[in-house]
Amino acid sequence: MTKEEFLTVSNVCKSFGTGDSRQEVLRGMDFTVAKGEFCVLLGPSGSGKSTLLNIIGGIDQADDGYIAIAGDKLREMDEKALTRYRRKHLGYVFQLYNLIPNLNVKENIEVGAYLSDKPLDIDELLNTLGLWEHRYKLPNQLSGGQQQRTSIGRAIVKNPDILLCDEPTGALDYNTSKEILKLIEDVNQKYGNTIIMVTHNNAISDMADHTIKLRDGKVRKNIVNDHKISAMELDW
């Protein structure tokens, strides 16, 4: 089945520092992601995957090349347009959750809903996330997994086109990690969002539609997974 091309990464280069301390993090990356695809950016530490995710998210800029979402090039957008782009199209999930400490679970999700004209039903989402009973708890009263589920809720409540996940299981134990991955898988299937997940965990690529392996700032392999398995079947 041929899928519609949604995200284009074309010859993206990025370096940090100047002179002797200059470090090339991305050295001309090229790949595309289809709409509704679950794509994993896999690579060891320092391979440039988080930098790439930030550029896709419009919070960092490429030195060269471009990123296009449904044909719109990010580098042609000014700051306001980028904010609008993030507001309309993107959801973000981070390794350390970044929840607002003095808002409860439901309110943290409302923080995402506020940005959308047509947000998902929050109560239904709380049930989907398994957070209904915890909806009035503050972040410091939750486990790591519950906090990450809340942060996923905050990201998807506005039903974004793309959900960017930066090592979402990096701070979680094995079982909780699998639960979170299952949740992301469910979200992908239920709402049809394109998911781009950065991880250094090889096993996760087995549940993805598409894996891009990175090393030293370059795409080393671009694998389409025809035999993906469910998150709960993963093992590492």
Partner 1 sequence: MKSPLRKRIFREVRKDWKKYIVLTLLMAFMIALASGVNVANDSMMAAIDESYEKYNIESGHFELKDQATPELLEKMSKEITIYEQFYKDSVEDFDGDGKEESSVRLFKIRKDVNLACIMEGRLPEKAGEIAIDRNHATNRKIKVGDIIYIGGEATEVVGLVSNADYSTLYKKNSDFMFNAVDFDVALLEENAWEEKSLGVVYEYAYKSKTELKNDSEKKEFSDKLMEHLAVLAATGGYTDDKDLAESARNDQALMMEILKNKDSINELKDFVPEYANQAIHFAPNDMGSDKSLVGVLVYVFIFVLAFVFAITTSNTITSESAVIGTLRATGYTRGELVRHYMLLPILVTLLASVIGNILGYTYFKDVCVDLYYNSYSLMTYETRWNASAFLVTTVLPCILMFIVNIVVIYRKLRLSPLKFLRHDLSTSKRKKARRLPSWRFMNRFRLRILLNNMGGYLILFCGIAFVMLLLAFSTGLPETLNHYKDNLGGNLICNYQYILKNYEDEEGNEITTDQEGAEKYSVTSLETIDGAHVGEEISVYGFTEGSRYVHISEELKDNEVWITSPYKKKFRLKEGDVITLKEKYENTSYEFVVKGVYDYDGGLAVFLPQKNFNKIFGHEESAFSGYFSQEAIHDIDSELIYSVITLDDIMSIATQLDHSMGGMMDMVAYVCLIMAVLIMYLLTKIIIEKNSNSISMIKVLGYENGEINSLYILLTSIVVVFSALATAALAIGGLYVIFRIYMGSLNGWFDVYVSAWGIAKMILILVISYAIVAFFDMIRIKRIPLADALKNVE
Binding residues for partner 1 (CB under 8 A): 54, 57, 59-60, 80, 83-88, 90-92, 94, 96-103, 107, 110-115, 139-140, 147, 154-155, 158, 171
Shortest gap between Cβ of 230 and partner 1 (angstroms)? Answer: 28
71 touches 78 (CB < 8 A): no
In the complex with partner 1, which residue's Cβ is closer, 13 or 82?
A: 82
Positive or negative: CA dihedral 159, 171, 180, 70: positive
Q: Give the span between the Cα atoms of 34 and 38, in whole angstroms.
A: 9
| Letter string b/e over residues 13-31, b meaning 16 or more CB atoms within 10 A of that residue's CB | ebeeeeeeeeebbbbebeb
- Amino acid identity of 108? N
Using the minimum distance from each CB to partner 1, give the nearer residue, 81 or 232. Answer: 81
- CB 137 → partner 1: shortest distance, Å? 13
- Which one, 53 or 181, has the nearer CB to partner 1? 53
- Judged by phi (left if over 0) then psi (alpha if -120 to 50, else beta), residue 142 lies in beta
Burial tier of 207 (Cβ tally within 10 Å: 0-12, 13-18, 19+): buried
State which residue, 43 or 112, has the beta carbon closest to partner 1: 112
Tell me how far, at minimum, the Cβ of 115 lies from partner 1, in Å.
Answer: 5
- Cβ-based nearer residue to partner 1, 147 or 177: 147
Q: Decide if 8 contacts 165 (C-beta within 8 A).
A: no
- Least Å from the CB of residue 100 to partner 1: 5
Angle value at C-alpha 165, between 163 and 167, nearest 5 degrees = 170
In this structure, what token pair is assigned to residue 231?
A: 């998150």
Instruction: Give the shortest CB-151-to-partner 1 separation in angstroms.
Output: 8
Residue closer to partner 1 (CB basis): 107 or 179: 107
The token pair at 151 is: 């942060």
* Distance in Å, CB of 88 to partner 1, minimum: 7
